[in-house]
Structure formats: structure tokens, C-alpha cells
Amino acid sequence: MGNTDYSKYAKLSPFELKDNLIELAQNHTDRMMLNAGRGNPNFLATIPRRAFFQLGLFATTESEFSFSYMPEGLGGFPRPVGLQSRFDHFVMENKDKAGVLFLGKAISYVRDQLGLDPDAFLLEMVEGILGCNYPVPDRMLRLSETIIKEYILREMGVQGMPKEGLDLFAVEGGTAAMAYIFNSLKENKIIDKGDRIAIGAPIFTPYLEIPKLNDYQLEQVLIEADPQQGWQYPEAELRKLEDPTIKAFFLVNPSNPPSVKMSDEGLAILADIVRKRPDLIILTDDVYGTFADQFKSIFAICPNNTILVYSFSKYFGATGWRLGVIALSNQNIIDQKIATLSKKDKKELEERYSSLTTDPSGIKFIDRMVADSRNVALNHTAGLSTPQQVQVVLFALFNMMDSRQDYKNAVKSVVRERDAALHRQLGVESTHDLNAVNYYTLVNLESTSRELYGDEFADWVMKTKNPTELLFRIADETGVVLLPGSGFGVLHPSARASLANLNEYQYAAIGNSLRRFAEEAYEEYLNNRPKRKK
């Protein structure tokens, strides 16, 4: 092993570490770097993308027809009259193209299965993909919101809630959603500096950092998942939420990096806590929910207390699109909290939103988020771009129209087979957990050492090796980039590997590299352990 001093990196955050790890892994030109650090999937949904581009061609032709007397390159707004018949002709002329065939079926599905006006839907999609109008309503296009409501209710396991009971705000991905939510909670006096907020750990590192910012200065209470219980939250940890000084509970479900969904038992405990604490706000990021079997969001059991964030980035391979939604029940606890604020606070908020309506006190929290996202004064320019909203709708329809769920089964199989390949080559058992999602995996330094070479070796590793320094040695000497679990709030020394962004043989290569590294460490251990007296 090399003599490089890696200790200087030990205090960096995971995403600062990532760039340093990549730089080290790329130092050697005689090998391939294997970057399993970031969870950007290398798979994506192609049919809804084909549909998007084909729809764009049709819409552009429609625009040109509107101003056909003008010079080439100048178009107008699409004409509603006869639009459906022209679209039908377009589909018939191009039905051999996968994206076009999907568009034709989507119109039928929207009409026959969702009960929406196909003419109004087509016009919304054509105008939307052209981006020729401001988003109206700014929170989300009307029919687009109706369709995404259906998708969210299905995929998040929500039973018995009518679409009319749900409001959505289309946003630029999950992280934008979090920024908007925290900002509006602060602006609307729901959270204040010094308030206590519970965070389900381990969790995506930036979510540990947001409450500490000067903007918020919140006190964190960690709700620790237990690796010995399959990374579920023990009841004693969840019961911390019964403390009335805790304003909100913030978590990722399924979790990042343990990559497991909250169990039915955990959901039942949380529902009981909410019955005792009807004032508790829950904020859940469910981006990995579509990879889980029989997923049920916390929103499904505590809809009035829960702010649901869902991103289309991972499941559809669309991190570059920045697509997500914030979902709130019409009867949400935050609107109720705003209604009970002091007269002074209410007057201040009425002044803040007075430029939007003659009744600023009646603005719902979700609409306040829209306004706050543009500093209120620029509310008229708020909203996710309409072409992005069209792609969101096509993604959702692609999933809902797939009655056999072929795409879902395929992507779930991809990440699970990668997990199996890594652990097989590492030489340790891959856990079989019904709640596991397998988008990420955590390689536990202690348990892996113990399983490979026994208790004494594991004890020696824990006493002599710095986990973060080990990651740098692994990157430098093997070209494998992993992130430290400690940066995500994992208590035991571990490495997080994304199972989404490399191919199966590369995960097998990572397993081989880690195994060789463990073998070298074991040789070091044998050479340095004290001689036993005869």
C-alpha cells in the first residue's frame, strides 16, 4: 500500500470528498475509474422522451401553420379548432414511430380511463411543449395537475383520497422543493430560530445541513434507524416525536443511504404518534418510493400532517430535467396553524401577500410557497416551465399506462442484480429484506471485516483504520469511488455505494477491488499482530 497521507481529507463533507476521491481515482491511466459515489442513474425511460420530441415536432408544425403567410421561421399560437383531427392524422402518418404511437394511446387513456377532455388536454400539451405562454395556473397546469395527482396517489399507496383533496406544486426537482418548503415555513411563522426539528437518520447529507443554516438555526433531534433492525426506526426513537417541543419530523423514505422503506409497523407507530400529536408536521422525501415493492408513503397514513415531496429524477433517469412536485392535503395542518397565528403575525403576513389578492389571509400555504419562490413580488413569473410540465405528464402516463409494469420491474431488477454482483464478489452475504429498495448499499467496515476474517481482525481494523482515510486509499489504489456513511449520519463506519450509475460487471469489479483491499489489510494484520507465547 502507498505512503500517501490521507488524514487531511477526514473532515470534509461527502460531496466535497467526492471530487477529491474522483481526482485520486483518476490518477492512474492504466485502469478504469469506477465511480459509485453519486446516485445518478445510468438508465432512463426512452418512450416518454420519444413522445416528448415527437410532440414537439407536431406542435412546431401547428405553430407554423398559424402564421403560414409569414416568412419561414416565424410561427404563432396553435389553433384549437380542428387540432384533434390534425393530431390524429399525424399519428396515422407516423404510427411506426414508438413515441408517436405512445402519444396516440395517451390521448385515448386520458379520455377513456381518466375521464378528461381530450381536446383540452391536447391543447395544453401542445401549448405547453412550445413554451409560448406563462404557466397558468402558476402552481401547475390544470389538466397536468389532475394527471399527476392520479400518479402520486397510486405510486404513494394512498387509498380513499379523492384527487380533489390534493394540491400539487410543480417544482424544479426534490431539492428545490425542500428549499421552497423550508423558506415558506419560516416566512409564515411556522418555524422560527431555535425551534426543534427531528430528522430521520441516516439521511441525504444536505438535509442535515439545511436546518443549521443562518436562515433557520434550528435545533436538530436525530431519530436514529437501527442497522440491527434492518435500518428501521425503533419504536423508542419514533416516540421521541411525542415531545411537544419538536415542531416537525423530516425524513427520506425509502431512506438514503440505507435504501429501505419504512415498515408497516413503523408507519403504524407514527400514525399513533400523530393521533397524540395532531400538531406535528411531517416532511417526507419519497423519491425512491417507486423502486419499492408495495410502497406506502407516510402521506398515505397521515395526509393532513404530511408535506410530500416526490421527484421524477431517479425512477425515470431524469436528474438533468429537474422535475418534482410538492403535495399537500386540502386539510393540511399548516393552513390550520397559519389560521391560529397571533394578530400581529397575521397582519404582517397579510401585508406580505397583499399584492396577490384582496383576501391575502385566505391564501393557502401551497400557494404561498409559489409566491415565496419568486419573492412574492415576482409571483406572476412563478411556476415550473411548461415544457418541463409536459415531460412530467408523459413520464406519469407512461407509468400508469404500463399495466404489466414492465418498466418498473426492469429498473428494480437492474439495481438488485447489481447489489448481488457487488456482494458476491466481495464475499459477503447480500441482505434479503422485503423493505429493501437497493438503490444504494452500505458496506459496513466492521461487519464486513468480521464476516471475511473473524472477530480479532475486525477489532484490529476498528482500532487501527480511519474509515475516511480508507476510502481515499481505496480510490487511490483501486480506482473505486465510494462515499463515507458518516457524512449521511450513519453511526457505524461504512461506505455508501450507489447501485444506479454503473453496469453490473463494474459492480462485480468493485466487489473484487474491495475484497483485494481487505486481503491486503488482513496480511498487514497477520504481520503486525503480537506473537503468541508458547
- Computed over every residue of the chain, the mean pLDDT equals 91
> Do 416 and 438 meet the contact criterion of CB atoms below 8 Å apart?
yes
Query: CA–CA distance from 189 to each of 126, 193, 314 (Å)?
Result: 40, 10, 33
List the domains of the chain with CATH numbers. Answer: 7-32+406-526 (3.90.1150.10), 46-133 (1.10.20.110), 142-400 (3.40.640.10)
pLDDT for res 485: 77
State yes or no: pLDDT of 18 exceeds 70: no
Q: What is the pLDDT of residue 513?
A: 87
> Cβ atoms within 10 A of the Cβ of 137, count?
13
User: How would residue 13 be classed by pLDDT, with cut points 50, 70 and 90?
Assistant: low
* CA separation, residue 197 to residues 212, 258, 272, 287, 293 (Å): 11, 21, 19, 21, 30
15 — pLDDT class (breaks 50, 70, 90):
low
End-to-end CA distance of the chain: 32
Q: What is the mean pLDDT of residues 421-426?
A: 95
Under the banding of pLDDT at 50, 70 and 90, the label for residue 34 is confident
Higher-scoring residue by pLDDT: 20, 399: 399
pLDDT at 478 over 90: no
Residues 284-302: tens digit of each pLDDT: 999 999 999 999 999 999 9
Q: Which of 447, 456, 411 is nearest to 429 (CA)?
A: 447
Residue 1 has pLDDT above 60, yes or no: no
Q: Is the pLDDT of residue 477 over 90?
A: no
Q: Which residue has the cell 406506502?
A: 296
pLDDT of residue 5: 60
Phi, psi of 483 (to 5 degrees): -105, 150
Number of other CB atoms surrounding residue 236 within 10 Å:
10
DSSP string, 286-311: -TTGGGSTT---HHHH-TTTEEEEEE
| Residues 178-225: tens digit of each pLDDT | 999 999 999 999 999 999 999 999 988 788 888 888 889 999 999 999
